[in-house]
Structure formats: C-alpha cells, structure tokens
Structure 1
Amino acid sequence: MNLQWDGVLAAYGELALKSKPVRRRWVGILISNILNGLAKAGVEAQVSHKWSRIIVKTLEFERSIEVLSRVFGLTYIAPFVYVSLNNLESYIAREAGELLKNAESFAVRVRRTGEHSFTSLDLEKKLGAILKEKTGIKVSLENPSRTVYVEVHNNECYIYTLKIDGCRGLPLGSSGRVVALISTGIDSPVASWFMMKRGCSIAVLHAQVNLDKPDACTRKLLDIVEVLRNWHIGIDMPVYVYRHGEALAEISRHAQEYTCILCKRLMLKVAEKLSHEIGAKAIVTGENLGQVASQTLDNLNAIDHAVNILVFRPLIGFDKEETMNLARKIGTYEISIRPDPWCSPSTVCWAKPSKPVTKANLEEVLKLENELQMNRLVDKAYGTIMKIS
C-alpha cells in the first residue's frame, strides 16, 4: 500500500482497567518509556495521549514501530491515517483501492467514543458499502483477508489496516525494581524478561563461580544483558558481579550432598543484601520445578528460607522446550548456547555433588550453615561485589 501515514497509534490494555489515579500515573510512565526508547534509537517524534490511545507523530515509521513493539504495556501498534469525521467517507471512497490493494475479501471494524448520531455498526455498514462499491471486493465478516480499522473519537478519525502485536504487560518501572540472578544459561534471562513484562525494572546480579578465571563468563553475560536492554526500554539496567567461587569451595568441602542447596542460599543472601542497598523489592531466579535436583519442592522450600525478601520464579511451571522457544523470541538463546570452554555448564557447576540431596531438611541446612559460619561467607562474598555496567 502507498498510503501516506500520519503517525503510529499505540494501544494499551491492562492499564485501562486501573483506577483513574493509577492509570494516569502508569500512562505517564509508559509515555516516558516510549519517549526514551525513541530518543535512544534516534527517532524524532511527538507523543501524546488521547482517550485510551497513545499517538506517536513521526516520519520514521519503521524505526518507531520497531521500538514500540518492544515497549512493555502496549497491546498493539498501528500506523494510521488521520481524517476528520466530516471527511471520513470521502477519504474511504478516494483511497478504497489502496486500502484494499491485493485483498480478496474485507471487513470494516469501527471503535467509537464520544457522542454521535450513529452507532459503530451503522458506520461499519456505511463504510463497507463504499469500499465494496468502489472495488467490487467481497465482504467477509468472519475471515477477511484485509480488515480496515477506523477509530472515531469525537470528530477525529484514525484509519489503519495493519495491527502489529505489542509485548503487552505493564509499563516497565510501574511495579518497582527487582534483583535478577542471571547466569549465562537459557533460563534466567527469560525469567527476567517475564518480570520486565509485569512492570519490574531489573538490576542484574551475576555470581562468578570460576575460581581460576572469575570473569570467564563476563563477556557472555554482557552480551545477554545487551539483548535484555533492548526490551528494558526507558530505565537503566545496572549489572553487578561478585566472587562466589571461594565460598562455594568451602561449602563443597563441608556440605557434600547439600552443596547445591547452600550454594543457592548464598546467592539469595547476597542478592537480598544488594536489594536492600539499591531499593529492590524482590529477587528473581530462573528456577523451574523439578528441572534439576536442587529444584524439588523440598529443596526450593529450604532455599527460600534463606531470606526474608520475596523470591519470584516466573518459569516454575514451564518445560525446557517452552523456555527455549521464549529465549529464541527474546533473542538470548543463541548467546546462551554459544560454546565457551571457560563458561559452560560443567565449568559453572563444578562443585555439583554426584548425588545431590533432593529432599532437603531445613534443620540440617541450618546446622551446616552454622558450622560454616555462613554469615561470614556472605559478608566476604558481598565485599567483592562491583558494578560493571
């Protein structure tokens, strides 16, 4: 189609269900994220909020749509043509050929707000009759090959034929900040993405487990973070690392079959300290129920008792194939599976016992931590924390 677009219409979903004060505040966050994302991409645009739509006026449609499709809180994006209500019918008649170019059938869908002497159905019938008369293309209300959308707000009309899916959810930052324990595997980046979708901004925390080369996974970690930042639009995503390997070595020598449990508890304790320091409200992990030995119900229960802060596991009910497909969609999958002799599952999980406990006893966990002086290990590990990006 060779229509001259006037801008991009962006629709939000869940926000419309909130109370007026919450909706006003969250729409403000959404618009701020959009403006920041467009500016970072070098797109010049004017952004305004009208009824339950966000209108982006720009001449750079492809780039703006690419950004908007990654802004959490938007349900769909559509390049539109603007006409006044008085000129709507004449525009449809004049541009009928372009609107239905290469279409085998069509339907008209009208969404209307404001006071009018006609209903949405009345207008659909009238515009549909004009399009059919001008082009001869048949109407198909159930399975059209082309849908002409018309949104009428008082005297303003927005016409579009292409709806591009947004990533839905809530505006990034509307739910606060969380600390995401991100490894270089497949799961934890996907778990972080899901929390972003629910309005949480992310602070990344990575445990350096390799004793001989602590920064062995740093390059892969930063490559994953770079992809996540493409979705983390509007708010900075800080990255922290700390040395976990030394404490893990002590745990491994003393805890044996409980090594994985104490390792995870140490990670959560460090993450909790960072959360308090930066004002985060929860911790996010990529754990999945039953996927590995440390992720049984008994073990997860023992792990959670390490901290007093909320721990989210967005992937708890996903199977591995579902998570892998999501990682491909997000863009982290190819990085996570990239071969690296210094940053592979075997080198990262070097302390894993041959027969890890699957039904952890909390009393035994606390006994082992007391013998290890776990608070000492936590303080020592947290003392190595540094922000690298």
Structure 2
Amino acid sequence: MTFDHILIRLGEITVKGRNRNRFETEMLKQVQHALRGFPGLTFIRTYGRLYIALGNEPYEPVADRLKDVFGISSFSPVKRVEPELQAIREGALAVMRSFPQRKATFKVKVSRRWKGFPHDTMAMNHLVGAHILRNMPNITVDVRQPDIELHVEIQEQHAYIYCEVVPGAGGFPYGSNGKAVALLSGGIDSPVAIWMAMRKGLEVEAIHFHSYPFTSKEAQDKVVTLAKRLSYYAGKPFKLHLVPFTDIQTSLAQSKQDHLIITLMRRSMLRIAQRIAEKSGALAIVTGDSLGQVASQTLGSMNVIGRTTDLPLLRPLVAMDKLEIIAMAKRIGTYETSILPYEDCCTLFVPKSPSTNPNLRVVERIENGVPNLAGMIAQAVEGTETIELRPDDPAPSDRAGEDDWF
C-alpha cells in the first residue's frame, strides 16, 4: 500500500478563536464515531489537522465515509516518512509511481513547517523533483499547469507526501452550534434544508405533519425513509416528531377562505413547531422556503407566516433555485425518495389561486373565528409521536421531493 495515512483538513473550524480547541475536540470525536466500523485505525490530532493511520484498513471505504462527515474541508491519502532527505525522496518516488505509468507532467510543492530542516523550500523542490525525473523517464516538469501536483509537508516528527485532495462536506461538526427543529415534508426541499442546517453544526429534530386518514401510510413511510437518510449524516440517533394535523386542517378548510388556506396552515404548523422546540431545548426553526418558488414563499407570505413564532426562522434554501435544490437532493441521496408519488397533508387543500400577499389583520381575524384553534394546537402537540431513527451502517448506497411544504 503506497499510502499509509489520511490527512484531514478542518474547514471553518480554523477561523475560531478561543473556542477552536472545543471544535477540534468535537471534530475528532465525530471522525472516530463515523469510522467506528474500522477498528484498525489510529487517530492523531495536531493543531488544525487530524491524521488517521490506516494500519491494515483499506483506504477506499474509509474515504467514502469521511466525505460525509460535517466539518471536514478536505482530506488526502498520504505517505508518511521520516523527515530526512533520502526518505522524502524515496517516498515521493513511490507516490508518483502509484499513478498509471504514462507521459505526464508534474510539479513539486514543498511546505517546510519545521524550520530546523536543513534544506530550504526551493532546494527541496529541486532535490525531490530531480530524483523523480531520474527514475521516471516519462515524467516532465510543468510548474504552471501540471497533471500531478506532488505535495511534501515537512514537520519535525514526520514528513507527509500526497497528490490527491478530496473535497469534504465542510461546515462544522454536527451539533457544535446548538439545536433546532425543522419541518420535514415528503418533498424535495425540506430534506436539503435540514442537511444544510446540519452541515452548519446544528443538531436537528425533524417535525412532520400528517392528516390520517386523508394521507396514506406510504406517505408517512416516505418521510421516515427521508429522516433515516438524514440520520446517516448526523451519525447518531435522529428524532422525528409525527404531529397529527387532521383536526386543524379540516377546521381551517371550513373557514371557506380557500385563497388563504396555505397561509393559515403554515402559521399553525409554526405554532406547533415552536412548542416542540421549547420542549426539546431547540433555539430555532428550520424551513425549506425558497424565495418566490411558490405562493407561500413570496416575501409577503413569509412575512405573515413567520410572525407566529418568536424563535428565529432559518431558511437555508432562500436564495437557491429549484434546479440547484434538486442537484443537492441527488447528491445527498434524498431525491429518489422525495419524488415518490405519495401525497402529504400539505397537498390536500391546495387552492387554484393561493394568495401571494396575504393581509396580516385579515389572517388573524380568520384565525380568531376558528373554534378552539388554540386547543387543537395544544392537542396536536400532546398527541405528537416521537421516534428515534439510527443511521444504517454501512451508509446507504443510493447517492444521489415536489415542492416543500406546498
């Protein structure tokens, strides 16, 4: 095996000041947890970096898991050698020979972090490059646009040699920035919004509204599958709150205000979400709103809907268009489930001409006229079923629906 270690680079964590140690400690814990199925690995933490000694473990499956761990900016398979000239030159040659033997150009880029090393950076670039040229006749130098960029990082204890830089998920370690609840429909948007919130270090508990018997068991199973997929990225048990919404939805429909029914339902959903958040210790509500995508996501609609909660409303998708959201859904593996043709409660009463600029006073007057709306909201919270979903191990193979809520 040419490569015996993996070098992990931390993303936004490195801009932290006094809290940096806490974030790096949490990052190490999450990497260890994500790779718990590989007992032969050894983990090494240094300032701003993590290293994994592969031992006898194969690189590819370890790398596949690392790609989905939040907080990792990028990583590289590396060969570790002694910080000594001949060892570095032989290690660099071994790394270059790991590529298919063909005509190619290369460039050596040495980073001399240990200033006590006897050769300076420019000298090392030449000494390593010359050794490769003597032993690989098909290789030539191109310092501007090389086919292969060979990196040599010299530290006091070891030198690390690598060529490949694999992008990671980025963001912050899961749960390192607090907790939020998130509205999860069976559509394309909301799982992507939740993934993006998780990527920024939020621990998320999902909330799904169902209207049995108007919605089917298949529709609920679809949401459970989506939540299970999200639990894989969390790397730990993922809570899904299933809220009975039938009584509220039918009562709002009886108000005969078809053009405002979406606004009315979403306001009730946020009231329920705030109560669940307060019980769970969450400090924000995440939604899948994308500005202008549908009638309930115009600025006027979002203003009226959002006034029902005191908690911050986080909208990770607000500036994304539908094609971008679909591409992200495919990448995180939720798209194929989201497009399954099972309706959720939000598609049952969609009017032909929904209001795009509702009047707050009119909406509040209609709500005041709905008998026992506050009581039904309390009953819905009380009747909520909470389930914990755990990530499948190994990760689901499906890498990769309609509008969110409505």
2:126 is matched with 125
2:22 is matched with 25
Supply the AA of the counterpart residue of 1:360. Answer: P
**Does residue 140 in structure 1 map to residue 137 in structure 2?**
no
Give 1:43 shift: 4.6
After the TM superposition, which of the residue ranges 139-148 and 170-179 deviates more from structure 2? 139-148
Cα pair 1:96 1:135 within 8 Å, conserved: no
Counting only pairs closer than 5 Å after superposition, residues 288-307 of structure 1 correspond to structure 2 as 288-307=290-309
Cα RMSD after superposing both structures: 1.9
1:46 is matched with 42
- 2:348 & 2:89 partners in 1: Cα distance? 72
Give 1:193 shift: 0.8
Give 1:4 shift: 3.1
Task: Give the direction of change, closer, same or farther, for the CA distance of 1:109–1:293 in structure 2 (3 Å limit).
Answer: same
Task: Give the direction of change, closer, same or farther, for the CA distance of 1:121–1:14 in structure 2 (3 Å limit).
Answer: farther
* 1:307 match: secondary structure: coil
Structure 1 gaps of 5+ residues are none
Cα pair 1:210 1:348 within 8 Å, conserved: no
1:341-365 residue CA offsets vs partner (Å, 9 max, x unmatched)? xx236x6411122221111111112
* 2:196 match: secondary structure: helix
Task: Give the direction of change, closer, same or farther, for the CA distance of 1:121–1:219 in structure 2 (3 Å limit).
Answer: farther
TM-score by length of 2: 0.88
1:377 is matched with 376
1:83-125 residue CA offsets vs partner (Å, 9 max, x unmatched)? 0111434424752661454351111222332323444343223
Counting only pairs closer than 5 Å after superposition, residues 164-183 of structure 1 correspond to structure 2 as 164-183=166-185
TM-score by length of 1: 0.92
* 1:324 match: secondary structure: helix
1:56 is matched with 52
Counting only pairs closer than 5 Å after superposition, residues 295-374 of structure 1 correspond to structure 2 as 295-339=297-341, 343-344=342-343, 348-372=346-370, 373-374=372-373
Counting only pairs closer than 5 Å after superposition, residues 1-389 of structure 1 correspond to structure 2 as 3-19=1-17, 21-39=18-36, 41-58=37-54, 59-60=56-57, 61-86=59-84, 87-92=86-91, 95=94, 98-102=97-101, 104-116=104-116, 117-136=118-137, 137-213=139-215, 215-233=217-235, 235-254=236-255, 255-339=257-341, 343-344=342-343, 348-372=346-370, 373-389=372-388
How many residues are treated as equivalent by the alignment?
Answer: 380
- 2:170 & 2:334 partners in 1: Cα distance? 20
Supply the AA of the counterpart residue of 1:75. Answer: S
Task: Give the direction of change, closer, same or farther, for the CA distance of 1:48–1:67 in structure 2 (3 Å limit).
Answer: same
- 1:151 & 1:384 partners in 2: Cα distance? 58
- 1:114 & 1:97 partners in 2: Cα distance? 24
Structure 2 gaps of 5+ residues are 389-406
Supply the AA of the counterpart residue of 1:28. Answer: T
Cα pair 1:97 1:134 within 8 Å, conserved: no
2:400 is matched with none
- 1:17 & 1:113 partners in 2: Cα distance? 20
* 1:266 match: secondary structure: helix
Supply the AA of the counterpart residue of 2:22. Answer: R
- 1:213 & 1:105 partners in 2: Cα distance? 60
